[in-house]
Copies of this chain bind each other. A is one copy, B any other.
Amino acid sequence: MVIIMQAGAPEEEVEAVIKAVEKTGFRPWVNPGVERKVIALLGAMDAEKIELVDHFSALPGVERVTLISEPYKLPSRRTHPDPTVVEVGPVSIGGAELAVIAGPCSIESREQMIEAAQAVKESGANLLRGGAFKPRTSPYSFQGLGVAGLQILAEARELTGLPIITEVVHPGDLEIIAKYADIIQVGARNMQNFRLLQEVGQTGKPTMIKRHPGCRVQELLTASEYVMLEGNPNVILCERGITTFEHATRYTFDLSAIPVLKRFSHLPVIADPSHATGDWRYVTAVALAAVAGGADGIMVEVHPDPTVALSDGPQSLRPEKFADLMRSLRQVAAAVGREVRQPVAQ
């Protein structure tokens, strides 16, 4: 941490800051500059000390405080240099084989879910998605089938052998969701629902946290710390687009978040081109790009008939388009030293 004093801050103010630093157990190291003082804190600076930034910032004469260390610890590469591989049944997320999570946005019926599950499996997906509890912007939108949806999803797992991921939106649903899901998803809108993160962490289950479209990469990593601090190291991060001034797409897929996350964290990174673009026409391009840019997998919405979908129809791929995507993805994955599961002969 480095404290930058205002130019010409009086000697008493500099002294007061130095005393405040000493009180916190750090050793102050002050430059002898005449115009303005810079005070570095010597000693091990942990994420636990993050509040000192605010504390010192509020002192008279302080221009600003620069945090040098990262504000998180467990997701950092510095504490864990090797990449984390999250094992989910037979699938290793973060390994050589890409995670390809596919399925409908919402579970709408047994028939729809099973049909989608079989289709994506045939094309080479290795994980199955489906929403049972849906966080919808409008209260008039379909809110999901709830527990009945979970049962259908579990049946789809039985039939295909693919592990399943589904979202939790309320702490009261967590117990039942944890019983069914192989991976618990914390959706973008709950990325900073910190109490939920802690409770999800306590389940010990593999957890995928989606980045809120209005939050920085650093905030995503700090959110993951809430889960990991509960003793749960099985965290997967997901980039799904950020809110910007451009509205040719629903959100702006932040491609460089992938190498940034890879540089600062050891956790696996998944890309969600469906939510990022909001338009099936752009899903394949963004999926291929994400993998070329280093993503450990993709999450794609696939629906047997998007025109009758109860949610996210415009961004859902038909099964045959998804099969095309997978063929192209196999090429791109190979080009960057990764693999995609082969299609299943019917």
A316 CB → nearest B CB, Å: 7
Which B residues lie within 8 Å of A294 (CB)? Answer: 285
Which B residues lie within 8 Å of A169 (CB)? Answer: 193-195
Which B residues lie within 8 Å of A36 (CB)? Answer: 68
* Partner pick for A292 among B32, B48, B281, B332, CB 8 A cutoff: B332
Residue A145 at the B interface, CB < 8 A? no
Bound-state Cα–Cα, A249 to B261, Å: 11
Considering the complex, give the chain B residue whose CB is closest to the CB of A8: B78
* Partner pick for A336 among B54, B229, B309, B328, CB 8 A cutoff: B328
Quick one: which of A47-66 are within 8 Å of B by CB? 47-51, 54-55, 57-60, 63, 66
* Segment of A84-92, A117-125, A154-162, A239-247 engaged in the interface with chain B: A239-247
Bound-state Cα–Cα, A2 to B33, Å: 12
Given contacts A139-B225, A190-B193, A222-B137, contact A312 B257 (CB under 8 A): no
Which B residues lie within 8 Å of A291 (CB)? Answer: 292
* Partner pick for A256 among B43, B66, B141, B286, CB 8 A cutoff: B286
Bound-state Cα–Cα, A95 to B83, Å: 39
Residue A150 at the B interface, CB < 8 A? no
* Segment of A96-104, A175-183, A202-210, A212-220 engaged in the interface with chain B: A212-220
Quick one: which of A251-308 are within 8 Å of B by CB? 252-260, 263, 276-277, 281-282, 285-286, 288-294, 306-308
The answer to whether B194 and A135 have CB atoms under 8 Å apart is: yes
* Partner pick for A331 among B139, B309, B316, B335, CB 8 A cutoff: B335
A308 CB → nearest B CB, Å: 8
For the complex, count residues of A whose C-beta is within 8 A of B.
113
Bound-state Cα–Cα, A246 to B247, Å: 10
5 smallest CB-CB distances across A and B, nearest first, come from A214-B214, A58-B313, A289-B293, A292-B292, A331-B335
26 contacts between A and B (CB under 8 A): A2-B2, A2-B4, A36-B68, A47-B138, A51-B140, A58-B307, A58-B309, A71-B137, A139-B194, A139-B198, A139-B222, A169-B195, A189-B192, A214-B242, A214-B245, A215-B243, A216-B248, A242-B245, A242-B246, A247-B247, A248-B256, A248-B260, A249-B256, A253-B254, A255-B255, A331-B335
Known contacts A139-B194, A249-B260; 5 further A-B pairs (Cβ under 8 A):
A50-B140, A51-B311, A66-B66, A135-B194, A169-B194
Q: Interface of A with B (CB < 8 Å)? A: 2, 4, 7, 20, 29, 31-33, 35-36, 38, 40, 42-51, 54-55, 57-60, 63, 66, 68, 71-72, 78, 135-142, 169-172, 189-190, 192-196, 198, 212-219, 222, 225-226, 229, 242-249, 252-260, 263, 276-277, 281-282, 285-286, 288-294, 306-314, 316, 328, 331-332, 334-336
